[in-house]
Amino acid sequence: MNQPTEIRAATLTGAQAVVEMLRVHGVEIVFGLCGDTSLPLYDALRDSTLRHILTRDERHAAYMADGYARMTGRIGVCEGPSGGGATYILPGLAEANESSIPVLAINTDISVASRGRYTLTELDQRTLMRPVTKWNAVLDRAADIPRVFRQAFDAMTTGRPGAAHIALPFDVQNAPVDAVDVWGDPSLGVYPSRRGAPDPEMVTLAAKLLRNARAPVFICGGGVVIAGAEAELAELAEKLAAPVATTISGKGSIDERCAHAVGVVGSNGGTPETRAVVDDADVIIFVGCRAGSVTTERWRHPAPGEARIIHIDVDPAVPGRNYPVDVPLIADAKLALRALLEELGDWQREGDLSPVEARKRAKFERFEALARSDETPIRPERVVAELARQLDADATLVADPGTPCPYFSAYYVLRGTGRRYFSNRAHGALGYALAASVGAHLARPNVKTVAVMGDGSFGMCAGELETLVRLKLPITAIVISNATYGWIKAGQRGGYGQRYFSVDFGTTDHAAVARAFGVRSWRVTEPRALAPALKEALAAGEPTLVDIVCQPLHEAKAPVSEWVA
Ligand SMILES: Cc1ncc(C[n+]2csc(CCOP(=O)(O)OP(=O)(O)O)c2C)c(N)n1
């Protein structure tokens, strides 16, 4: 283009404008995988201060962005090319969106000028991404880039946080954008960016209900950690002398060593003891929790109509969806809990937490007896106990579905609050933890990060071991090895009279596979070899993997209520 110098300086390419829009919103890392339609974007990234983490699968780019967002409180950003790049990035968006985690995915696309001509990789990204995002757009012209990115950041961080997707055509990346338009509000790069306070009348009603409660019990979801409401929760629990149970995503709402903490409730990670605390309640206070099927054991605990319900959630659609609600508090969890504290003033409830203590003791005595077992194959309880013993309190642990999720949710006691443990609980797709641990590590590089997965999950994420090696990430991967899709086999055992069908696969030496990628690894078959192998692996300061041959889930005493029953 033959323009005077001053006009050229005032113009960016679309790709440069995209990079600048990320930067002004505080983005520092982009996870992604290259493609033909992404060449202009990569050229702009090359010249920028943004760090690009090249992944081996777009699914994992999105999971990394998700893990990064969970640990930083900032937006996670991922990118991929058109066609397959979009279909592969989608699972990570679906998980993040349903888990209220702000992940922005950018897929480049064929040129606007090539639409409708059987162009290679042409795909209706708008329709594809709509159901799995809070907000999405397909760019048709470069001039819209600044506005569209501002809208994306606003959508991801206000109200209930969620995922956003932008399709960025090839020719749009090359077209000019006026530099004057390229601005953004950095406060929209963190979440929650705009907190909403509760209706004071509802706060008064809730406080009245709490003053008259015989046995109030909190059930906290991921919303408490997202809102950073842990201190307010602890203070209110103290004032109410109330037990605090959590969902799996709500782990981190409360220090699990404290007298108020019940642990995880629900069908996955809950136990008869934690369920009993919920069943005793006459008032349940759901906080940042959707009261979904897992938390409530399919809406049986609490039983509808048994307890009065106060439901605090940022999303007005949540309270009342599954339970008749006495007081809905539509607000940010931190502001709602603080408003309740102010309304209750100096009042203090007299309450006895010793029944909670007794139940926790019973739960952990049973667990510890199994954890001490020298049986082979190694019991999952032993793996949890050994990791809990060896990891520092501030370590990050990411758990995949299968054996890891219920066991670590139930028995890995968090020493402290905030995000230290997470699992992909919206969709529970296998193969999440390894990639999410990469994002988590980059978010918090000074603490130990561990990914725990089943061998089914290993099969879906192993390629990313190369990324760990290339980037020299001191992450430890733990594989619970049982040569079966154990969770499903356990379902066939419990519900179908042991009519096992198409759930077993072959034995793999995962340590040998990892070694071939350049990962230092151990294969552990004997209980006594577990502690020394973990010790070396956790201390190594490089990527490590411990492949543990474990008791299969269908034979284990897993904290999964359907099977216990
Ligand atoms: C992508 C995906 N496909 C299928 C499932 C259904 N599923 C849930 S748990 C499970 C078995 C998990 O097997 P593995 O990772 O080996 O762990 P294990 O249960 O044996 O401990 C399966 C197949 C899923 N969660 N995600």
Per-residue pLDDT of the chain (565 residues; tens, 9 = 90+): 334 444 455 999 999 999 999 999 999 999 999 999 999 999 999 999 999 999 999 999 999 999 999 999 999 999 999 999 999 999 999 999 999 999 999 999 999 999 999 999 999 999 999 999 999 999 999 999 999 999 999 999 999 999 999 999 999 999 999 999 999 999 999 999 999 999 999 999 999 999 999 999 999 999 999 999 999 999 999 999 999 999 999 999 999 999 999 999 999 999 999 999 999 999 999 999 999 999 999 999 999 999 999 999 999 999 999 999 999 999 999 999 999 999 999 999 999 999 999 999 999 999 999 999 999 999 999 999 999 999 999 999 999 999 999 999 999 999 999 999 999 999 999 999 999 999 999 999 999 999 999 999 999 999 999 999 999 999 999 999 999 999 999 999 989 999 999 999 999 999 999 999 999 999 999 999 999 999 999 999 999 999 999 999 999 999 998 887 6
* Residue 482, amino acid: N
Helix, strand, coil percentages for the chain (3-state, nearest 5): 45, 20, 40
What is the number of other CB atoms lying within 10 angstroms of the CB of residue 503?
Answer: 18
Pocket test for ligand 1, best of 407, 408, 457, 487 (most atoms within 8 A of CB): 487
Cβ(488) – ligand 1 distance below 6 Å: yes
Closest atom of ligand 1 to 503 CA is 23
Query: How distant, in Å, are the alpha carbons of 66, 290, 488, 555 from that of 70?
Result: 6, 18, 28, 33
Model pLDDT, residue 526:
98
Residue found by looking up tokens 């897929």 in the block = 107
* Residue 427, amino acid: H
Q: How far apart are CA 195 and CA 526, in angstroms?
A: 51
3 state DSSP class of 561: helix
Host H or E run for residue 387: helix 380-390
Q: What are phi and psi of 51, to 5 degrees?
A: -90, 130
Residues contacting 297, CB < 8 A, separation 6+: 266, 267, 270, 275, 561
Pocket test for ligand 1, best of 484, 485, 560, 562 (most atoms within 8 A of CB): 485
Q: How far apart are CA 219 and CA 312, in angstroms?
A: 10
What does the DSSP 8-state code read for residue 378? B
Minimal-distance CA residue to ligand 1 atom 24:
429
User: Which residue in 275, 302, 274, 272 sits closest to 286, CA to CA?
Assistant: 302
CB 506 within 8 A of CB 513: no
Model pLDDT, residue 154:
98
3 state DSSP class of 297: coil
What is the number of other CB atoms lying within 10 angstroms of the CB of residue 541?
Answer: 9
In angstroms, what is the span from residue 268 Cα to ligand 1's centroid? 14
CB 325 within 8 A of CB 309: yes
Model pLDDT, residue 563:
87
Minimal-distance CA residue to ligand 1 atom 1:
429
Closest atom of ligand 1 to 402 CA is 19
3 state DSSP class of 53: strand
Cβ(319) – ligand 1 distance below 6 Å: no
3 state DSSP class of 375: coil
User: What is the per-residue pLDDT across 178-237, written as a single tens digit (0 to 9) for each?
Assistant: 999 999 999 999 999 999 999 999 999 999 999 999 999 999 999 999 999 999 999 999
Packing angle between helix 14-24 and helix 145-157, nearest 10 degrees? 30
Q: How far apart are CA 229 and CA 250, in angstroms?
A: 11
Cβ(556) – ligand 1 distance below 6 Å: no
pTM over 0.95: yes
Strand order in the sheet with 476-481: 421-423, 396-399, 449-454, 476-481, 544-549, 520-524
Rg of the chain over CA atoms, in angstroms?
A: 24
In angstroms, what is the span from residue 428 Cα to ligand 1's centroid? 8
CB 64 within 8 A of CB 53: yes
Q: What are phi and psi of 264, to 5 degrees?
A: -80, 140
In angstroms, what is the span from residue 453 Cα to ligand 1's centroid? 10
Quick check: bond before 81 cis, omega within 30?
A: no
* Residue 112, amino acid: V
Q: How far apart are CA 11 and CA 327, in angstroms?
A: 53
